[in-house]
Amino acid sequence: MPAVSKGDGMRGLAVFISDIRNCKSKEAEIKRINKELANIRSKFKGDKALDGYSKKKYVCKLLFIFLLGHDIDFGHMEAVNLLSSNRYTEKQIGYLFISVLVNSNSELIRLINNAIKNDLASRNPTFMGLALHCIANVGSREMAEAFAGEIPKILVAGDTMDSVKQSAALCLLRLYRTSPDLVPMGDWTSRVVHLLNDQHLGVVTAATSLITTLAQKNPEEFKTSVSLAVSRLSRIVTSASTDLQDYTYYFVPAPWLSVKLLRLLQCYPPPEDPAVRGRLTECLETILNKAQEPPKSKKVQHSNAKNAVLFEAISLIIHHDSEPNLLVRACNQLGQFLQHRETNLRYLALESMCTLASSEFSHEAVKTHIETVINALKTERDVSVRQRAVDLLYAMCDRSNAQQIVAEMLNYLETADYSIREEIVLKVAILAEKYAVDYTWYVDTILNLIRIAGDYVSEEVWYRVIQIVINRDDVQGYAAKTVFEALQAPACHENLVKVGGYILGEFGNLIAGDPRSSPLIQFNLLHSKFHLCSVPTRALLLSTYIKFVNLFPEIKTTIQDVLRSDSQLKNADVELQQRAVEYLRLSTIASTDILATVLEEMPPFPERESSILAKLKKKKGPGTVTDLEEIKKERSSDMNGSAEPASVNASAVSTPSPSADLLGLGAAPLTNSAPPPSSSGSLLVDVFSDSASAVAPLAPGSDDNFASPDLASSEVVSEEPADTVHDADELFHKFVCKNNGVLFENQLLQIGLKSEFRQNLGRMFIFYGNKTSTQFLNFTPTVICSDDLQPSLNLQTKPVDPTVDGGAQVQQVVNIECVSDFMEAPILNIQFRYGGTFQNLSVKLPITLNKFFQPTEMSSQDFFQRWKQLSNPKQEVQNIFKAKHPMDAEITKAKIIGFGSALLEEVDPNPANFVGAGIIHTKTTQIGCLLRLEPNLQAQMYRLTLRTSKEAVSQRLCELLSEQF
């Protein structure tokens, strides 16, 4: 910076500032300011032209007055005039005034832009620096429009001085952040990367900040920066503290630049070049080694700089997730920080270890620190550190330590801060369910959870425990006994009353044989809580009472007296009044058989992902350890994943729990005549379970008639380019009778479908979920129809974003038109680049002929008349085959309905047979179809007969339907 001459002291400004500071009151200050403003205004309007020094002095005074909080409505033109001065101090004050006081809508903006252009073209580094600083400080869209094309040229010009390059890089970064659409990508992008090799470390630091931001949006444009960044990082890491004297901070060489380079490398997967990859590994090992060395200074600045580089290196190791040795070393280093006296280091260590716990390479190493983390949970004074400890315990939990971790969380919950109690409750509920081997332990844990933190137990938690108890025959008696004992406490939380009311209403008969829990004692115990509960809980208890009428006829009179009381029949709440009236009437006039039918035990719930996990994800936000580690670490079955297929009456289907999924695949909500736990959430497929969910037939007409597909049958995608179609026939055939679910899944990618069809038209939503923390690049899904299929099926696909961020999903819409009948299925081919490796996979897209079925109702007479008309041998196809699944009548009905045909009741003389009818709609014709399925339970065989007006259609439909049984 040029030296300030003796005349630049601006004594008048110093006197004015002194006068302001000496004012005894606000009024005196305003009076002095008004006097000065009048003086300045008269000077600016005077006939005598002011010299540059006077203009500068008065503009400085105006700027000082503005900073004191007073409005300035003149002097702008004089500030603009200062920009044309050749004296540094005058130009500097002009730019400073403009940066602070001139807005982007000012009429003077054109004059200001002209002055800036003149300074940028002057090649005077001092003036260019002032102009660039002004552009960056204002940073408006107008500035970006005027200079976004000029600044890159200055940045990459060979004759630009280092100080100007620094300013240009940071100015361009500012404009890109405010108006990214106005910064053009061009030839300069390849040249700006080479600034990473610049001799001046200040230029390298500024360029790294710019390239990192640009690479996040345009990774392909700047991928050559990886090798240069590794090379520069290697030179810094291996240098001595004396080699980079101007950029060494408390014996740490260039810590800010090192951190920026490590962040830049996190924009990309591990380098493909073995030499570059090896050099980067050496750098990271060197950083980890230096962390073990004794400190070269006791000052906090030294440890802060050293640890900043170390934590950024660990973040890069976690991001790459490809070097087991480095991951374990990083985990051990973080383990040392868990007991560091510095709170911030303990916090950062816990946070980083949460991410490490999700890596298969370092999960076991993280688990070795469980005692330290539990101790932190108990002794830490800072609530934010305790919260990170809870997160880490949740992340490191698996079957081997689940009971210990859940017990420690429950112990901590009693004294936990109110701000994190709900989150801990959700995590305890998820872990108890996910890793329960003994379901009695699960029931005990949840009831203990309600006892300790009842106010923080959301509806999703007690809904879930009820669903699990209903679905598990082996735990129902124990649950009834446990809740009965828990309700005997003098003070019970209302959520416990809800759980107790529901479970005793369903399974109270299992403990009624014990005199200590006789029907009357159960009823009196529940009714003693009635007057203390809210209206929704009272409504649930009334439903329990009417259930008791069916379970225990001996206390029917007692219950009727309660329902008949004025407090119920004349209740101010219309819901309670209506329930009391209807339940009393039902118990009075209904026969025993009718009561048994209406009030029968709740059927098992369809198995879905836990709604508690969905709530936790929503609470924590996307991209956090709560959702990503669920996919990446040991993937265990949901505790109910092994439940037996449940036979459910189509007229009384339970309401399933709400849940969430990476792909967000929803299904139609179901209803039930009884009041089960319900929520407004959608049904979604379970992406976290390796086992097939239980199959529960749903109401006729429901699109999603079956649970999620067996994810274990998904094949692993080859790391190399391959043309093999991932046949996964079992997975493909599961979509014959349903429209929603997971089509394919491996460690990188999940593909889900949601479809709807009407006559010969259909629409399919394909969801691609990135299960990693690394971007997918050049993501290109293509739907391919063979030459034979193209004339019969018109498919229109919409393009998707070629970049899929880690943990994100993209959606593709496919519009479908069936022109004529077809036999094959289209192929979905997906190509993308992950971690430097090209990925190529193909799966069959489940667009099958039966999707264009429209059900047709007909009488027995019409059916057999039509059946005889289709008696030509070429019109009939018959298949006799062995049953592959349990021969359950209700499941069979649901599959026939899901296949698309109408299920015709009381048509076949043999009531054990199943008969269906429908019409296949194509653009060119309509094809009638009749089917008959004859099960032989003794031989475990089926005979399937299909008759249509077209032989090929009969053959294809027979093939598709045979695979379902």
Binding residues: 11-12, 43, 53, 57-61
Whole-number Å distance between alpha carbons of 403 and 472: 20
Q: Are 683 and 787 in contact (CB under 8 A)?
A: no
Whole-number Å distance between alpha carbons of 238 and 220: 29
Q: Are 434 and 427 in contact (CB under 8 A)?
A: no
Whole-number Å distance between alpha carbons of 595 and 643: 28
Torsion angles phi and psi, residue 178, rounded to 5: -85, -35
> Hey, what are 471's tokens?
């679905």
Terminal C-alpha separation, the chain: 85
3-state SS assignment for residue 564: helix
Whole-number Å distance between alpha carbons of 366 and 56: 63
3-state SS assignment for residue 319: helix
Neighbours of 438 (CB within 10 A): 10
Query: Got the DSSP string for 47-77?
Result: SSPPPHHHHHHHHHHHHHHHHTT----S-HH
Whole-number Å distance between alpha carbons of 641 and 336: 39
Q: Are 136 and 169 in contact (CB under 8 A)?
A: no
From the list 684, 690, 701, the residue with the least C-alpha distance to 753 is: 684
DSSP letter, residue 251: T
| Type of residue at 427 | K
Whole-number Å distance between alpha carbons of 628 and 390: 16
Half-sphere exposure of 429 (CA within 13 A, CB side): 32
Whole-number Å distance between alpha carbons of 894 and 699: 8
Three-class secondary structure assignment of 485-518: HHHCCCCCCHHHHHHHHHHHHHHHHHCCCCHHHC
Whole-number Å distance between alpha carbons of 848 and 388: 49
Torsion angles phi and psi, residue 796, rounded to 5: -120, 120
Whole-number Å distance between alpha carbons of 422 and 478: 27
Q: Are 344 and 307 in contact (CB under 8 A)?
A: no
Torsion of CA 520, 526, 531, 534, to 10 degrees: -150
Q: Are 502 and 536 in contact (CB under 8 A)?
A: no
From the list 169, 236, 235, 176, the residue with the least C-alpha distance to 206 is: 169
Whole-number Å distance between alpha carbons of 754 and 770: 18
| Type of residue at 486 | A
Please report where in the chains the tokens 């600016």 appear, as a residue: 44
DSSP letter, residue 824: S
From the list 225, 247, 227, the residue with the least C-alpha distance to 236 is: 247
Rg of the chain's alpha carbons, rounded to an integer?
37
- Burial track 206-219 (b if 16+ CB lie within 10 A, e otherwise): bbbbbbbbbbeeeb
Rounded alpha-carbon distances, angstroms, from residue 223 to 183, 226, 594, 778: 19, 6, 73, 13
Instruction: Give 18: exposed, middle or buried? Use CB within 10 Å, 0-12, 13-18, 19+.
Output: exposed
Three-class secondary structure assignment of 341-364: CCHHHHHHHHHHHHHHCCCCCCHH
DSSP letter, residue 647: P
